[in-house]
Structure 1
């Protein structure tokens, strides 16, 4: 299991705490210019410094979760090999073998948290004051929350996984470790989350630090997933036996935790959940409030408490910047690379602000067709996008929508997006513009506004936005899901879903949308698609609901083409796909390199 150990080695040198290394023989290194462990772990400042190292090691595992949306039906990802965690696929089909690097990174992060937990626990016996005990226990609570998050991700991908709750100092300690049953790992995660709930403060004074509400939300989410696996089944994991009673108990526990987050801490949606203003079609001087939740200048303030937990980024000159703009937009904005692009299929999910229901489907048309720019419901007619969910304006660019161009840290004026007219001169209402340049990578007819900064001063890889790991809006929707599974549509859950809809300026759900359990589930799923788009949730939802076949069709079927706004077929997925192809989406592969070293590490059945 050498590869695993190369990621879970423990770094005793404090100078390495914030910047993980991949040197395999660090265990044999002696301290030279830095203090050794015997001189460390003396003060709360030491413990906090080590905890920040754990946060730093875990952040790159979760802050690019948008890649997982590329495994659903609404986001096209181009760059799958992005550092620091290299995914080797963004194909919605047969993807479970492309994430070996995630396994290694997660276990490296687990060992970092174990390092903090064990050493801070030793410090407790020497604590002189009650305040010091409280502070140290809070640090342990944060580390245990982070450890629980890592194991949660591991079981969600791989099912049964090796579990260790202690520091690993040498390869031999894990060279023959076996996989622990998922139920046992789940219970250990619950214990970590529960400790965090008990010890963390209700509110943290530092952005990026965990708090009691965030721990409650994660315990609720773990129970929701456990309930889903027991409710819908997980046949690919042949060691797992679903239980309806387990599902009911887990849904109940999840709902209780979510309800506490919603009611007990005075939290509310960003800007009170108000939609703000749509502005003018084809203009970007005014944008809906939802847009401002996802740019650093406004989203980081988080005065309302929408962001229950984030992973921080330092911005310019820190070496810890985010690269969301590089990923989510094109060359016209600081030379960005358009690695993530909305698919055509997402546009029809944005509902009417007038009826509150889906609009007539958009009609893809080639711009050379007569009336393509003016035909009713044409995907190329800007008026086809009027009176829709405000989150559409805040998230997407369609033909003739403008975005602020940026170059060399300066604003260069608005550029209109017009599919396949990259970097061309065009006159609109008597004013000359240069069209949006995506580098020729766009194959859908839409681009992103969400996550794209509209002000100067930062390059494409110099962002200081804090990636949302847990949002209050997600908690609203998870609560609605859990209570709906238990009791069908409930008044408080319907109201929470309507609050999410209100930020899109949509009317409340019509009566038929909440008439029964199935109808309300569809409404909840709809809001999860729109509200959480490109934040990395869709793939996990499809897997836990066993909905991949619902989206792409049954095994050995015709699959489904994705298309663009001009009506061209782009990609076809799951065509004549075998059952094994689907199974390899529902359960990920244990990395072969790990099994080559450790014969006790069994492989998941779909990958035998």
Structure 2
């Protein structure tokens, strides 16, 4: 199969299935080959179409299932590299070489995603390939096959819509390709299509998918009506934000308050249907479950298990997922490799929580923030027992259960693993990578990771059992889940009408899984206060799921987080009191503009003279 070196080659490659439908070669006996299918031998039955669709899911999955890397460009997650391997799409090649850091570097973050651009278009072509061929099948299909074939087209159009949604979110105006491309000449002179026009095409895809998909898919991993409706609502929510908050970096885009209000209302209506019409519920009914005190991990909250393979089946919170094959399939996810350390099947801790996330976890007793943690040098006498000390395990007691489920601090335990077997409990202790640790008279080998610079590591996504390698997970990664829909609905209704009773109730249902009390009246007093409460829940509930970066962009919060252009920026700290990284120090305004819109890949413009560049990158 050809490598994807540009959008041109990317859309021309039909990947594995195309080899099945290639024309026959003649051999000495003039027989049909046994290693490939004649073009006329495929696309005959609904089963053929399902096989093609499954290939599209597998091809498109690797441009969404590592979205947690994007959180590294926000304020609460550090990404120091990726497990994505160059040249291997199944291992996330689309994410390879991306600069996932606030403020970027050289180049700025938005200038280092040429591969992502190409692979998104490769996914578009794969979806188009399914759509075009199944539509041809529909012209002669028996009446009994029509509904099944239309469902397949609906799923492929949902995937295509998701791909274009990501493209316009990052690059604004992009070329729109609505059919299978077989030759470079078909796309080599395409100009960028205005974002409003692309948005309308995405809306049409999501609407068709909603109309044709089943209420519930009986096959695990296939999309259903709630997924299409949720993505249509999300597209309208983003359109409302771009019109309401503005997008000055996108040349030719004129914000419209009227368009924003209309889109907010339409988004809310779609989200309302997802929430009310399909019998969907939060994982384990949103019950918090059990939560051990600091230093113990025999009983972890229900929220933790939402991000393990236990949640794969019978879980209606996961509205849409991309499935993984697990051990021995070469289709496994690499979540553990990304978030865990050497003590867990030689994982590499590419992704870790920043110190600043800890203070966002609220107290169960009050439902509000605790006094800020105090970074403390462990060599200072009494540092481990001082009140509010960041290295005192008791400073983390009595917090939102999602804290225990999501991150680990000093002396937190997890199950070590080597050669697919348990090595027993391993305690995490920042900057103690190899020295044995004695706790309560028991000596342990410590959690071996030098990948964090904050004093914390993730528990979220970490499998707490042996039997699977670091790259052999079978977790179905969510790209849309019900808790996010709750929060987006609250945001959309709040933007139009202020805090509404049903939206407040939805936030309280999410907070309940953290064992938090309901929001205090001050948190729902007006639009501004309620939006802050919504943002808080998005930060905690969706941590390391790839949402924070996009929230910062659509809400235009960059200066609020990092300071204005030319300012001193912000130092990120660790639990020992060290200043570990400084971002946006003396940065020019252009770097801020480049955060909000990405660079059209230079190679694409070299090949296509009709592609214009986004203004901040000129």
Q: TM-score range by the shorter chain?
A: over 0.9
Closer/same/farther in 2, CA of residues 282 and 606 from structure 1, 3 Å limit: same
Structure 2 counterpart of 1:139: 152
1:393 aligns with 2:404: yes
CA contact (8 A) 1:14 1:36 kept: no
SS in 2 for 1:70: helix
CA contact (8 A) 1:14 1:35 kept: no
Structure 2 counterpart of 1:7: 10
Closer/same/farther in 2, CA of residues 356 and 442 from structure 1, 3 Å limit: same
Deviations 1:482-528 (A, max 9, x none): 00001000000000000010000000000000000000000000000
Structure 2 counterpart of 1:98: 112
Shift of 1:424: 1.7
Shift of 1:292: 0.3
Q: What are structure 2's unaligned runs of at least 5 residues? A: 27-31, 86-92
Give the alignment of 1:23-422 within 5 angstroms. 33-80=35-82, 82-83=84-85, 84-85=93-94, 86-93=96-103, 94-129=108-143, 131-296=144-309, 298-301=310-313, 303-422=314-433
- Cα distance in 2 for residues equivalent to 1:254 and 1:17: 41
SS in 1 for 2:111: coil
1:449 aligns with 2:459: yes
Structure 1 counterpart of 2:88: none
SS in 2 for 1:346: helix
Closer/same/farther in 2, CA of residues 29 and 320 from structure 1, 3 Å limit: farther
Deviations 1:94-143 (A, max 9, x none): 311011111100111001111111110111122212x3100000000000
Shift of 1:400: 0.8
Structure 2 counterpart of 1:545: 555
Instruction: Specify which of 430, 442, 447 is matched with residue 441 of structure 2.
Output: 430
Shift of 1:16: 5.1
CA contact (8 A) 1:9 1:27 kept: no
Instruction: Specify which of 577, 582, 586 is matched with residue 576 of structure 1.
Output: 586
- Cα distance in 1 for residues equivalent to 2:247 and 2:23: 40
Shift of 1:78: 1.2
SS in 2 for 1:96: helix
SS in 1 for 2:275: helix
Give the alignment of 1:509-524 within 5 angstroms. 509-524=519-534
Deviates more, 1:4-13 or 1:575-584: 4-13
Shift of 1:304: 3.7
Structure 1 counterpart of 2:490: 480
TM-score, normalization by structure 2: 0.95
Shift of 1:10: 4.0
Q: What are structure 1's unaligned runs of at least 5 residues? A: 19-25
Shift of 1:306: 0.5
- Cα distance in 1 for residues equivalent to 2:507 and 2:38: 53
SS in 1 for 2:110: coil
CA contact (8 A) 1:501 1:508 kept: yes
- Cα distance in 1 for residues equivalent to 2:600 and 2:14: 26
Closer/same/farther in 2, CA of residues 371 and 13 from structure 1, 3 Å limit: closer
Structure 2 counterpart of 1:21: none
CA contact (8 A) 1:71 1:92 kept: yes
Shift of 1:81: 7.0
SS in 1 for 2:487: helix
Structure 1 counterpart of 2:616: 606
TM-score, normalization by structure 1: 0.96
Closer/same/farther in 2, CA of residues 518 and 117 from structure 1, 3 Å limit: same
- Cα distance in 2 for residues equivalent to 1:219 and 1:310: 16
CA contact (8 A) 2:20 2:38 kept: no
CA contact (8 A) 2:412 2:428 kept: yes
CA contact (8 A) 1:127 1:133 kept: yes
CA contact (8 A) 2:294 2:397 kept: yes
Shift of 1:239: 1.3
- Cα distance in 2 for residues equivalent to 1:116 and 1:294: 31
Deviates more, 1:81-90 or 1:391-400: 81-90
Shift of 1:38: 2.1
Closer/same/farther in 2, CA of residues 16 and 66 from structure 1, 3 Å limit: farther
